[in-house]
Amino acid sequence: MSTYTVHFLPADRSVLVDDGATIAEAAQQADVLITNLCGGEGVCGKCRVQVTKGRAPAENHAKGFFSQDQIMKGYVLACQTEIHDDLEVVIPAESRMDGSKIMTSGESQSLAKMDLNPVVKKFYLALSAPTMEDNVPDVERITRELRKELGWHTFDIPLDCLQTLSTKLRENDWKVTVTVARHGENYRMLRIEPFDTARSHYGLAVDVGTTTVVAQLLDLNTGAVLDVEGCHNSQASFGEDVISRVIFACGKGGLDPVQNAVVKNINSLIGTLVKKRGISREEIEVIVAAGNTTMSHLLLGLTPCYIRLDPYVPTTDEFPQIRASEIGIRINPRGILEVMPCVASYVGGDIVAGVLASGISEQEAVKCLIDIGTNGEIAIGNRDWLVCCSASAGPAFEGGGTRCGMRATDGAIEKVVIEDGELHYETIGNKKPRGICGSGLIDCIYELVRNNIIGQDGKFDRQRKDPRLSSEDGIPGYIIADAGETETGAHVVITESDIDNLIKSKGAVFAAIKSLVDYIGLGFDVIDTLYVAGGFGSFLNIPKAVAIGLLPDIPLEKIKFIGNSSLTGARSCLLSENAFETCLNISRSMTNIELSTYQPFTNEYIAALFLPHTDGKLFPSVNYAKR
Amino acid sequence: MSTYTVHFLPADRSVLVDDGATIAEAAQQADVLITNLCGGEGVCGKCRVQVTKGRAPAENHAKGFFSQDQIMKGYVLACQTEIHDDLEVVIPAESRMDGSKIMTSGESQSLAKMDLNPVVKKFYLALSAPTMEDNVPDVERITRELRKELGWHTFDIPLDCLQTLSTKLRENDWKVTVTVARHGENYRMLRIEPFDTARSHYGLAVDVGTTTVVAQLLDLNTGAVLDVEGCHNSQASFGEDVISRVIFACGKGGLDPVQNAVVKNINSLIGTLVKKRGISREEIEVIVAAGNTTMSHLLLGLTPCYIRLDPYVPTTDEFPQIRASEIGIRINPRGILEVMPCVASYVGGDIVAGVLASGISEQEAVKCLIDIGTNGEIAIGNRDWLVCCSASAGPAFEGGGTRCGMRATDGAIEKVVIEDGELHYETIGNKKPRGICGSGLIDCIYELVRNNIIGQDGKFDRQRKDPRLSSEDGIPGYIIADAGETETGAHVVITESDIDNLIKSKGAVFAAIKSLVDYIGLGFDVIDTLYVAGGFGSFLNIPKAVAIGLLPDIPLEKIKFIGNSSLTGARSCLLSENAFETCLNISRSMTNIELSTYQPFTNEYIAALFLPHTDGKLFPSVNYAKR
């Protein structure tokens, strides 16, 4: 069999592969990480790469993903392109997961060894017909067979399932498919079908984020991710951030529309997913959803009002298993919805899912998860102990609260470099710039301070002569993209007050990490791995995040960006009933430190309002040239 | 389509019906109850009515049921007569199921010793408000308090209860009343009210009998029976006995009306009870119902079809706890319904309740329960073992299958004595006699054989001169009440074929007892107490029941008539969650002997077709004077 060499850029790594392997497989072999949401099905279009040497035409799969121009330039989807030639392949910024392991890092530790044992199971049973010697009740004929598979358990049966059970058993000569869900320590029969439908077995993992809602469709027979869809959370129209949504929901008649908005989002994502895969909604029998505590309350229609008021009390931290139809979610009418358990009002099911996905609670080594969004949530621990906290970071890293901030979508500046007085930027999707997303803002601040354009206090050097310096209402700013280059026709600019907001945000996150580490009586050096999750898009420049003082100054190889760990955790729970059990243990055993009443936090916060920090000894590797 | 008015007398109720409807259907629509044994097949002849205005000839179906004179007077069978005219219809006394008194008594020894620990409990909790030092989720604030009362348990919370929980907690300064139901091995919160409502705490025990439905209203704070109401089971209009109802329910669209009929009965009883006690339906939060396996299936709307077909398999023997509202029962919308577990298709929750109520499963002494209805069910055992069986006794003891048989309601002859050639009888309610109920029939047979009017083979002494001897179509009979004394203006008579039927019925019951005692390898002398339950009215003459060979000949002081033990058992389960647990244990541990495939039963049955028995040694104390 012929073999070919594939050389990946910018990683500068080569591998030898067999004829017919895909570029994605070659990349994996080369340990070059390419973004991929759909699991290699050619449907998400995230694994776009550019073939710069050798022949590997995009052929059929390119349609809809690439312009004619891009096809001419050699753009293809890595997962769909077979190798029949020596190739040079460039991984463009938007497809790269540079330097940072992703979701799969959490997966490789916990998912890989995880047995496929989905929270909802289907069993095809060919039962023996009753005789006078064996005339147990019909239900028992099923349960005694199920006990052979599941061990001794009681089986809860909803009335509507029981009412037609006898008829269904006899409809096809005692051959039935029984759908069973884990329910507490026992099981619940969801559905009995008089045919073998066990092959059709689907579930949905949903990350209900404040900003975006992402749904993954899974084949529960194989564990494969079939497809993924995401959309903005329509609750945004009732308030961009959690607090304003809670205020709206707690007004008269406010809860229903806020709940319905996200239910509609989920229904719409399901609609797209089933259409794309050619299945019906009724074939989906389970959803596992993860969200922060407020999102979980709003999804289920629970009063969220006391989450935001001192002393910050949620209605509950563990949610009942319900039929998805009870809240209007349109899957199988008897399909269930599980919502991941929370720890406290500001440490939600998304963090519990993240702790699960990153495997923190499994090993002896101390690991830490930082999820940076409007709130920065931090969990640290190992298999023996878990501590967490949450700090309000403000919306800066998600594109809010800054003049030209935007979410990590097409046209967002996500990378900035200032070298020898020249500014270079890259945008998501290589579109004309429309604004700056979180990762771009981190770059901006780093580059501005490194080039002495701002001081370590975040203030502009007003003496400096620089054509990019601007001023509006007396507030100085710096032009990142000139009006002539942008989509909007206006400058994309970062102002001194933007920088001030960002310093407060990163200060809050860092102070939270520092307070937590101090609280447990350890130093940063005890951290074996630091996982960073959050809505930064596919990219976060970790060295720069350390350099501005957002992340602690520990060896860079210990820091890993893992993207949407909430979704990964929800998926694990869908695929493993033990994982769901683990999540309950995580949420019950995790100690939450309430930073708002923890005095040292305030001091840490004030000390962190500097780039990288007022105490330089905390960032020994960061040395800005003094101006 | 034409419609016609049907006016029923003496109920004085009118309905409008479509052309072609039957009089039976019109009666049902008018809520006028007509006796019906065969389920509308035109074979039992019990639904005779008199058309006094309008045209509705008896035509073909009258033959064999009516004399020419009756046909001339407008007598027809309600189930066979289509309506094509405006009619006035008189329901004669013998066809009426009027608001007569239903037997509602039933007591037991084991209740007194029972701790009051109702299956649904209410707790008034004055909780502390949350603080920053104590900001557990709202649910946990309640559950940790409940655990002080109930021990460590998980608490299941339905979504609708959870949704408003936070608001309710704060509505009256953290003072709430929480209603909790036992649920499997744990508890379920049913309801949270922001006031102290613990004083108002009611439950309902219901005996769902094939013939009658009886409901007791209980104060769950004291265990006191506040009131009791009973009515005929309206399912009778779909068939008098279990089998004909099952056949109707298994026809197309048949299950719903049969289920609705009994639900309507229960709702109506509840309506009367709450009105009498001046409480609201919403104050009732729990119902425990006991019935035979078919009645339990029909109440819950479960397919009953395979109960009556070899190999006699019910859908289930344990029923899920549901909200009563799920099947349309109108108590508190969150109130629950528990249905007592069954043992097999023909040993139901009524027997399990009876075993509980009679305390059979509690002591070392061997005790036996005989419940005599259309089926005779027998349970025997002690705290270590329990065996049961069921035998089809026919409807004779419930007033069916005999010429002048009737249920134990007003006007039924329940006591008969023949002394020195004089016959004395007593009727229920001291009303003019309309027929004879089960206890009256037992008396009749005993007195007839004791006075040598019939032989021990049940045959009349045709040589005898007695003005009470009658004959119709060559079948001899004995006039119990003369036409001049009765409500109906006809003789109340017992015929030789009635006696034949009664001997078969008593023979089946006795053979079942004998087979069961033999099966376990013991004799009658091992029986410490024999409890007799059944719908005999308030009275059963035990010595006479022994003397005709219905009950075994053991010392009379060992035999106790306990009336409606099913209701008593249901009440125990309402008042004690341990009692419900005990019932599950009883139903799971009881061994059911299938008599239909147990050869010795057939021999015992044939041997028992004599008064008292072909083997006189089995009834040493019974000595009829030989004629």
Q: Which residues of B are less than 8 Å from A596 in CB distance?
A: 132
Residues with Cβ < 8 Å from A491, sequence gap 6 or more?
Answer: A470, A479, A480, A481, A482, A483
- pLDDT score of A107 more than 50: no
What is the distance between the alpha carbons of residues B203 and B225, in angstroms, rounded to a whole number?
Answer: 10
Q: How far is B390 from chain A (nearest CA, A)?
A: 15
- pLDDT score of A98 more than 90: no
Q: Tell if the CB–CB gap between B158 and A131 is shorter than 8 Å.
A: no
Q: Tell if the CB–CB gap between A162 and B594 is shorter than 8 Å.
A: no
Q: How far is A252 from chain B (nearest CA, A)?
A: 13
- pLDDT score of B226 more than 50: yes
Q: Tell if the CB–CB gap between A305 and B166 is shorter than 8 Å.
A: yes
Q: Which residues of A are less than 8 Å from B134 in CB distance?
A: 311
Omega into A600 within 30° of 0, i.e. cis?
no
- pLDDT score of A440 more than 90: yes
- pLDDT score of A589 more than 50: yes
Question: How confident is the model at residue A111, as a pLDDT?
Answer: 41
Question: How confident is the model at residue B212, as a pLDDT?
Answer: 87
Q: Which residues of A are less than 8 Å from B167 in CB distance?
A: 303, 305
Which of B133, B139, B325 is the best mutation test for A, with the most CBs of A within 10 A? B139
What is the distance between the alpha carbons of residues B418 and B468, in angstroms, rounded to a whole number?
Answer: 12
Strand order in the sheet with B225-232: B225-232, B212-219, B202-208, B284-291, B336-339, B322-323
Residues with Cβ < 8 Å from A602, sequence gap 6 or more?
Answer: none
- pLDDT score of A105 more than 70: no
Task: Specify the DSSP element, H or E, that contains A530.
Answer: strand A529-534
What is the distance between the alpha carbons of residues B154 and B395, in angstroms, rounded to a whole number?
Answer: 48
Q: How far is A316 from chain B (nearest CA, A)?
A: 5
Averaged pLDDT, A4-23: 87
Which of B136, B163, B300 is the best mutation test for A, with the most CBs of A within 10 A? B163
Nearest residue of chain B to residue A317 (CA atoms):
B137
Other beta carbons less than 10 A from residue B75's beta carbon:
19
Residues with Cβ < 8 Å from B377, sequence gap 6 or more?
Answer: B346, B347, B348, B350, B351, B369, B370, B371, B388, B389, B390
Averaged pLDDT, B559-586: 93
What is the distance between the alpha carbons of residues A529 and A552, in angstroms, rounded to a whole number?
Answer: 12
Averaged pLDDT, A322-347: 97
Which position has the higher pLDDT, A94 or A541?
Answer: A541
Averaged pLDDT, A64-75: 80
| CB of B108 closer than 8 Å to CB of B359 | yes
The partner residue sitting opposite B159, judged by closest CB among A131, A134, A320, is: A320
Owner of token pair 């008194």: B101
Angle, in degrees to the nearest 10, between helices A349-358 and A577-589: 110
Question: How confident is the model at residue B327, as a pLDDT?
Answer: 98
The partner residue sitting opposite B130, judged by closest CB among A158, A163, A313, is: A313
For residue A196, count CB atoms less than 10 angstroms from its CB and return exposed for 0-12, middle for 13-18, buried for 19 or more: middle
The partner residue sitting opposite B162, judged by closest CB among A134, A156, A320, is: A320
Q: Which residues of B are less than 8 Å from A159 in CB distance?
A: 300-301, 320, 322, 326-327
Averaged pLDDT, B490-502: 94
Q: Tell if the CB–CB gap between B306 and A138 is shorter than 8 Å.
A: yes
Q: Tell if the CB–CB gap between B165 and A315 is shorter than 8 Å.
A: yes
Local structure of A118: helix, strand or coil = coil
Q: Tell if the CB–CB gap between A306 and B158 is shorter than 8 Å.
A: no
Question: How confident is the model at residue B36, as a pLDDT?
Answer: 64
Q: Tell if the CB–CB gap between A167 and B303 is shorter than 8 Å.
A: yes
Q: Tell if the CB–CB gap between B305 and A166 is shorter than 8 Å.
A: yes
Bridging pattern class, strands B559-563 and B529-534: parallel
Q: Work out the mean pLDDT of chain B and round it to a whole number.
A: 90
Question: How confident is the model at residue B104, as a pLDDT?
Answer: 41
Worst-scoring range by mean pLDDT, A434-438, B155-159, B583-587? A434-438
Calculate what percentage of chain A has a pLDDT beyond 70.
93
pLDDT in tens, A207-239: 999 888 999 999 999 999 999 998 888 998 888
Q: Which residues of A are less than 8 Å from B154 in CB distance?
A: 184
Read off the tokens for A182.
């884990």
Q: Tell if the CB–CB gap between B317 and A137 is shorter than 8 Å.
A: yes
Averaged pLDDT, B534-549: 83
What is the distance between the alpha carbons of residues A507 and A515, in angstroms, rounded to a whole number?
Answer: 12
Nearest residue of chain B to residue A341 (CA atoms):
B137
Nearest residue of chain A to residue B342 (CA atoms):
A137
Owner of token pair 């992402």: A214
pLDDT in tens, A366-377: 999 999 887 889
Q: Which amino acid is at B574?
A: L
Residue of A572, A564, A416 lying closest to A36 (CA atoms): A564
How many residue pairs bridge chain A and chain B with CB atoms within 8 Å of each other? 135
Residues with Cβ < 8 Å from A501, sequence gap 6 or more?
Answer: A394, A396, A401, A402
Buried residues in B100-132 as b, exposed as e (16+ CB within 10 A): bebbbebebebbeeeeeebbbbbbebebeebee
Read off the tokens for B41.
């097949």
Buried residues in A53-90 as b, exposed as e (16+ CB within 10 A): ebebebeebbeebbeeebbeebbbbbbbbebeeebbbb
Residues with Cβ < 8 Å from A327, sequence gap 6 or more?
Answer: A259, A263, A299, A300, A301, A337, B159
Read off the tokens for B66.
């009516």
Please list the residues that pair with A16 across neighbouring strands.
Answer: A5
Read off the tokens for A142.
């099923």
What is the distance between the alpha carbons of residues A267 and A253, in angstroms, rounded to a whole number?
Answer: 22
The partner residue sitting opposite B311, judged by closest CB among A135, A300, A327, is: A135
pLDDT in tens, A404-436: 988 888 899 999 999 988 999 999 888 999 999
What is the distance between the alpha carbons of residues B505 and B433, in angstroms, rounded to a whole number?
Answer: 24
For residue A278, count CB atoms less than 10 angstroms from its CB and return exposed for 0-12, middle for 13-18, buried for 19 or more: exposed
Nearest residue of chain A to residue B250 (CA atoms):
A167
Averaged pLDDT, B477-505: 94
Q: Which residues of B are less than 8 Å from A310 in CB distance?
A: 132
Q: Tell if the CB–CB gap between B140 and A320 is shorter than 8 Å.
A: no
What is the distance between the alpha carbons of residues A441 and A423, in angstroms, rounded to a whole number?
Answer: 14
What is the distance between the alpha carbons of residues B516 and A16, in angstroms, rounded to a whole number?
Answer: 82
Q: In A220-258, at which residue ranges do the beta strands (DSSP E only) sit? A: 225-232
Q: Tell if the CB–CB gap between B315 and A137 is shorter than 8 Å.
A: yes
| CB of A38 closer than 8 Å to CB of A276 | no
Distances (CA, A) of B117 to A395, B188, B197, B576: 54, 15, 18, 5
Domain residue spans in chain B?
3-95, 120-194, 203-339, 358-393+503-615
Q: Which amino acid is at A596?
A: S
Q: Which residues of B are less than 8 Å from A317 in CB distance?
A: 137, 139-140
What is the distance between the alpha carbons of residues A395 and A411, in angstroms, rounded to a whole number?
Answer: 19
Q: Which DSSP symbol is given to B421? A: T
What is the distance between the alpha carbons of residues A520 and A516, in angstroms, rounded to a whole number?
Answer: 6
Q: How far is A301 from chain B (nearest CA, A)?
A: 6
Q: Which residues of B are less than 8 Å from A300 in CB distance?
A: 159, 162-163
Structural class in CATH, domain A358-393+503-615: alpha beta
Q: Which residues of B are less than 8 Å from A314 in CB distance?
A: 137-138
Q: Tell if the CB–CB gap between B302 and A166 is shorter than 8 Å.
A: yes
Under the banding of pLDDT at 50, 70 and 90, the label for residue A626 is low
Question: How confident is the model at residue A409, as a pLDDT?
Answer: 80
Q: Tell if the CB–CB gap between A316 and B139 is shorter than 8 Å.
A: yes
Calculate what percentage of chain B has a pLDDT beyond 70.
94
Q: Which DSSP symbol is given to A55? A: -
Question: How confident is the model at residue B86, as a pLDDT?
Answer: 93
Local structure of B611: helix, strand or coil = coil
Question: How confident is the model at residue B66, as a pLDDT?
Answer: 79
Q: Which residues of A are less than 8 Å from B289 in CB distance?
A: none
Distances (CA, A) of A603 to A380, A515, A516, B503: 21, 9, 13, 96
Q: Is there a common fold for A120-194 and A203-339? A: no
The partner residue sitting opposite B303, judged by closest CB among A157, A163, A311, is: A163
What is the distance between the alpha carbons of residues A152 and A150, in angstroms, rounded to a whole number?
Answer: 7
Q: Which residues of B are less than 8 Å from A138 in CB distance?
A: 306, 313-316
Question: Rg of the Cα trace of chain A?
Answer: 26
The partner residue sitting opposite B301, judged by closest CB among A134, A163, A317, is: A163
Cite the DSSP H helix spans in A311-461.
Answer: 349-358, 438-450
Residues with Cβ < 8 Å from A355, sequence gap 6 or more?
Answer: A361, A369, A379, A386, A569, A586, A590
Read off the tokens for B74.
């407008």
Q: Tell if the CB–CB gap between B140 and A166 is shorter than 8 Å.
A: no
Question: How confident is the model at residue A35, as a pLDDT?
Answer: 66
Under the banding of pLDDT at 50, 70 and 90, the label for residue A110 is very low
Terminal Cα-to-Cα distance of chain A (whole angstroms)? 61
Question: How confident is the model at residue A227, as a pLDDT?
Answer: 92
The partner residue sitting opposite B313, judged by closest CB among A130, A157, A596, is: A130
Structural class in CATH, domain A3-95: alpha beta
Distances (CA, A) of B439 to B103, B198, B228, B272, B485: 13, 44, 23, 29, 20
Q: Tell if the CB–CB gap between A132 and B310 is shorter than 8 Å.
A: yes
Local structure of A397: helix, strand or coil = helix
Interface predicted TM-score (ipTM): 0.81
Local structure of B25: helix, strand or coil = helix
- pLDDT score of A86 more than 90: yes
Q: Tell if the CB–CB gap between A132 and B162 is shorter than 8 Å.
A: no
Bridging pattern class, strands B3-9 and B13-18: antiparallel
pLDDT in tens, B430-460: 899 999 999 999 999 999 999 999 999 999 9
| CB of B54 closer than 8 Å to CB of B86 | yes
The partner residue sitting opposite A315, judged by closest CB among B138, B320, B597, is: B138
Q: Which residues of A are less than 8 Å from B314 in CB distance?
A: 137-138
Question: How confident is the model at residue B103, as a pLDDT?
Answer: 39
pLDDT in tens, A507-542: 999 999 999 999 999 999 999 999 999 866 567 889
Q: Tell if the CB–CB gap between A303 and B164 is shorter than 8 Å.
A: yes
Q: How far is B255 from chain A (nearest CA, A)?
A: 10
One CATH from 3.30.70.20, 3.40.50.620, 3.40.50.2300, 3.10.20.880 for A120-194? 3.10.20.880
Nearest residue of chain B to residue A167 (CA atoms):
B303
Question: How confident is the model at residue A241, as a pLDDT?
Answer: 81
Q: Tell if the CB–CB gap between B302 and A162 is shorter than 8 Å.
A: yes
Question: How confident is the model at residue B43, as a pLDDT?
Answer: 66
What is the distance between the alpha carbons of residues B172 and A155, in angstroms, rounded to a whole number?
Answer: 39
Mean pLDDT comparison of A594-608, B76-90, B287-301, highest-scoring range:
B287-301
Structural class in CATH, domain A203-339: alpha beta
Nearest residue of chain A to residue B155 (CA atoms):
A320
Residue of A74, A106, A19, A73 lying closest to A560 (CA atoms): A106
Residue of A91, A105, A11, A94 lying closest to A532 (CA atoms): A105
The partner residue sitting opposite A139, judged by closest CB among B138, B162, B315, is: B315
- pLDDT score of A102 more than 60: no
What is the distance between the alpha carbons of residues A393 and A504, in angstroms, rounded to a whole number?
Answer: 7
Distances (CA, A) of B505 to A368, B396, B571: 79, 7, 30
| CB of A625 closer than 8 Å to CB of A562 | no
Furthest C-alpha separation in chain B: 99
Q: How far is A135 from chain B (nearest CA, A)?
A: 6
| CB of A193 closer than 8 Å to CB of A174 | no
Angle, in degrees to the nearest 10, between helices A242-249 and A293-300: 30
Q: Work out the mean pLDDT of chain A and round it to a whole number.
A: 89
